[in-house]
Amino acid sequence: MPSKEELLPKAKKPAEDALRLHPFYKGKVQTMPKCPVRDLKDFAVWYTPGVAASCKAINKNPELVYEHTNKANSIAVISDGTRVLGLGDIGPEAGLPVMEGKALLFKYLGGVDAVPLCLRTKKPEEIIQTVKFLEPSFGGINLEDISQPKCFDILDTLMKELTIPVWHDDQQGTATVLFAGLINALKVVNKNIRDIRIVFVGMGAANVPTYRLLKTVGIMPEQIIACDSKGILHKGRKDIEEKTDMFRDKWQICMETNPDGITGGIREALCGADVCIAFSRPGPGIILPEWIKNMNRNSIIFACANPVPEIWPWEAKEAGARIVATGRSDFPNQVNNSLGFPGIFRGILDVRARTITDEMVIAAATSLSKFAEERGISDDSILPKMDEWEVFLHVAVATAMKAQEQGIARLSKGSEVLYQDAFNIIKNARESTLTLMNKGLILNPPENAQS
């Protein structure tokens, strides 16, 4: 890993560039046609009077909406701006740049057309009803940056009541990529997933579903100690017990984990641990180097708070950690949801899945880890990188095949067809962007704003 003197200025550069480049481009996404417009006569087909024929066909058979419109490749990215990138409740306007960025990643990495929608409401029932109103227009829903605990109920309710897949990337997406990274990190350090002790730092929208997923794959709650902002979770946490209506998942974790009843904070939790999974508040200084020194040999640290990890990677390494991962692209081992959601949505849209199950998440995570392992894993490379664009094809196929296996797909396709379809769609998205750049329709950034 490069030295602290090399990394710290580099870590600050993306924020500096963002303040120049966002105003320069005035946003990151736009609407472009996907049909030819040879002359104005074509509008008679794409709009009135010709479009009425498509409307009548869909009216007779609503499933034809997937054939006559872009619903089959269109999703909504929905947020209320209450938990944006570790910045907290900054509101819908301030959250919009993130949702636009998400839409950009969906398109470029997965070929998925995503519409950013920031809502001026914080009420769970209003968010749920708004998404229900939007269901006819989209093939899927991506919830984003919604605070906990309401995010859990919103996701659970919508998954039950909608006939299109609903995904909360802060929950399911984080758990997917984290699990993939954990699989390979344990292979690098030669530890068995059944024998390790895991410490969770932060028990919010990211770590609660990660805990659920790890239980699903066979990790025992007795292997886990969890910490929230007030300390270690245990059966004596009356502050949580008194609010089980709001924090039922957290109270369940209190009851299931930490069999020895250890109390205290992160320092005490990390003593003798093998793995630290941190999705808490931005650092540095949330996890201190001296605490990592008390972990077992060949320890693994996932310090994934954004925009700044709970501990700088070089500090964790100096303290004895073998593998360190963060959520940032400018450090090794980026645990970023962007490795998961583009391919997952590509897969569910291509078979028109009705929902997204834990088994589909596990299939996607396994595909991610296998892709990295086949090209080689090491201390500083436990996951694929975003520029290895073939990984999204493999994740799409794995997700789609599992959806068909579980009987929740409307379409039936073989793995080779799925791979080729995903290849063509993603290739089109990437080459379309390149063409716009080469033609000068997307301008190059000013020289003083380049990274």
Query: How many CB atoms neighbour CB 376 within 10 A?
Result: 7
Mind listing the pLDDT tens digit for each residue in 95-121?
999 999 999 999 999 999 999 999 999
DSSP code for 296 = P
In order, the DSSP letters of 378-430 are BTTBSS--TT-THHHHHHHHHHHHHHHHTT-BSS---HHHHHHHHHHHHHHHH
Is residue 286 a contact partner of residue 310, using CB atoms and an 8 Å limit? Answer: yes
Its pTM surpasses 0.85? yes
Give the confidence band of 88 by pLDDT, cuts at 50, 70, 90: confident
pLDDT tens-place string over residues 234-255 = 999 999 999 998 899 999 999 9
Domain annotation covers residue 55? yes
pLDDT at residue 11 in the model? 66
Question: In the annotation, is 419 catalytic?
Answer: no
Catalytic residue status for 370 = no
Exactly one of 102, 250, 317, 402 is catalytic; which is it?
Answer: 102
Average pLDDT over residues 153-182: 95
CA pair distance 374, 366, nearest whole angstrom: 12
Asked, for residue 71, whether it belongs to a domain, the answer is yes
Q: Does residue 411 form part of some domain?
A: no
Domain presence at residue 51: yes
pLDDT at 332 over 50: yes
Q: Is residue 384 part of a domain?
A: no
Position 259 in a domain = no
CA distance 341 to 432: 21
| pLDDT tens column, 190-241 | 999 999 999 999 998 899 999 999 999 999 999 999 999 999 999 999 999 9
Indicate which residue of 12, 13, 47, 123 is catalytic. 47
Domain that residue 157 falls in: 17-171
CB 81 within 8 A of CB 89: yes
CATH number, position 23: 3.40.50.10380
Whether 106 maps to a domain, the answer reads: yes
Q: Is residue 271 a part of any domain in this protein?
A: no
Domain count across the chain: 1
pLDDT confidence band for 48 (50 / 70 / 90): very high
